[in-house]
A = this chain, B = another copy of it.
Amino acid sequence: MAFQSELEVFRKFLKNQGMRYTPEREAIIKEIFSIHDHFDVDGLYISMRRKGLRVSKASIYRLIPLLIEANLIAEVFFDKGQTYYEHIYGHEHHCHLRCKECKKIEEFSDPRLKDLEKELSERFGYKILTHKLQVIGICSKCQAKEDSA
């Protein structure tokens, strides 16, 4: 099966659900898939406005659950009232190492988590869908700052 673009995948998803493909949805998806980083609704809205793309925040809020349902994006973490997302379509699954002080993020993946998923599935009888591992620490720069303080 040939690789399908995010837009194609989403069009099919919408059709399946009896939902409609609109210019607003297209604009938001294009914007999301042009940002190759973690993003939040407010940042997305602001960057769209700056480009003259006028969609309401309500439409963004309404679209996000659909993109999650369609496995195009996923929630990565929630910090201080902000929910952050990232693309997952076409990306290897990965986890996040975050600096508690400066909020810097490192991404990593580890095959042991797949093994663990398998074991949990057998042990508890769950069908495993995904996992989210956040490791929290202090980066080298922030450690240096702390030591000199």
Contact = CB atoms under 8 A, between A and B. Distances in A.
Contacts of A127: 137-138, 143
A106 B124 CA distance: 8
Contacts of A139: 124-126
A128 B124 contact: no
A128 B137 CA distance: 4
Interface string A104-142: 001010101001110011011111111111111111100
A78 B110 CA distance: 24
A134 B117 CA distance: 11
A31 to B, nearest CB: 25
Contact of A120 (B108, B121, B126, B143): B108
9 contacts: A100-B129, A108-B124, A110-B116, A112-B116, A120-B137, A121-B137, A126-B135, A128-B135, A131-B135
Interface of A: 78, 97, 99-100, 106, 108, 110, 112, 115-117, 120-121, 123-140, 143
